[in-house]
Amino acid sequence: MSKKENLSPVKCKLVIRPVQDALDVLNGKWKLPIIVALLHGVKRFSEISREIPGITDRMLSKELRDLELNHLVKRTVYDTFPVTVEYTMTEYGETLKDVIGALHFWGENHRRKIFGDDLLQEPVNKDHLG
């Protein structure tokens, strides 16, 4: 939507619906941190758990299942002893990289606007997201 226009209620719903769908898939405290962790490469469950302070194993397991059901994360089980399980972003999940990058930069600007100073010690390069 490049220019402001008055939308009819029907058109407004058509604009809002896909945004709401996206928010429904990515909702909650943990999904975006999990996605960011996996955008940096293939990880085992314990690696993801260590990278996300405060998440319980039960919650991590639930969120990974949700992300897998939405075709964003792939779970691969290897026939080893003990069994090895790895998680990675799917090709479809990788399409979130630009969305997360946009959220990151919007969040930085928002922090500067609200708090009035640069609270970040090191600037994060957009390519650093994965």
| CATH label of the domain that carries residue 13 | 1.10.10.10
Q: Are residues 13 and 51 in the same domain?
A: yes
Q: Are residues 63 and 31 in the same domain?
A: yes
Q: Are residues 46 and 86 in the same domain?
A: yes
1 domain residue, yes or no: no
Q: What is the DSSP-derived secondary structure letter of residue 8?
A: P
129 vs 84, which has greater pLDDT? 84
117 vs 126, which has greater pLDDT? 117
pLDDT over threshold 70, residue 121: no
pLDDT over threshold 60, residue 120: no
CB burial readout 33-42, b (16+ within 10 A) else e: bbbbbbbeee
25 domain residue, yes or no: yes
100: domain range? Answer: 95-130
Q: What's the pLDDT at 108?
A: 92
How many domains does the structure of the chain reveal?
A: 2
pLDDT over threshold 70, residue 123: no
24 domain residue, yes or no: yes
- Distance CA(127)–CA(30), nearest Å, equals 22
Q: Are residues 79 and 20 in the same domain?
A: yes
- Mean pLDDT for 70-81 is 97
